[in-house]
Amino acid sequence: MENDGLVKREVVSTRPFVVTYETTNFGKTTLSFLEELKQWAEEQNI
């Protein structure tokens, strides 16, 4: 998802190794679609 520009990965520290992920503006454009897909899947008991 990082390669597709949906999330941003940032290494915060190396000791201990900490990485954070953040939804990009482009990734946020997919949220409504994903919510609809989730609702459909729940209705289908998938």
- Which of 7-11, 12-16, 36-40 has the lowest average pLDDT? 12-16
pLDDT for 28 equals: 97
- Confidence grade of residue 44 (pLDDT, cut at 50, 70, 90): very high
- Please choose, from the candidates 38, 4, 6, 34, the residue with its C-alpha nearest in 3D space to the C-alpha of residue 21: 6
How many CB atoms lie under 10 A from the CB of residue 20?
10
At a CB cut-off of 8 Å and minimum separation 6, what does 18 contact?
11, 12
Across the range 8-23, mean pLDDT stands at 95
pLDDT for 23 equals: 97
pLDDT for 6 equals: 96
Cα within 13 Å of Cα(7), Cβ side = 9
Q: What is the per-residue pLDDT across 20-43, written as a single tens digit (0 to 9) for each?
A: 999 999 999 999 999 999 999 999
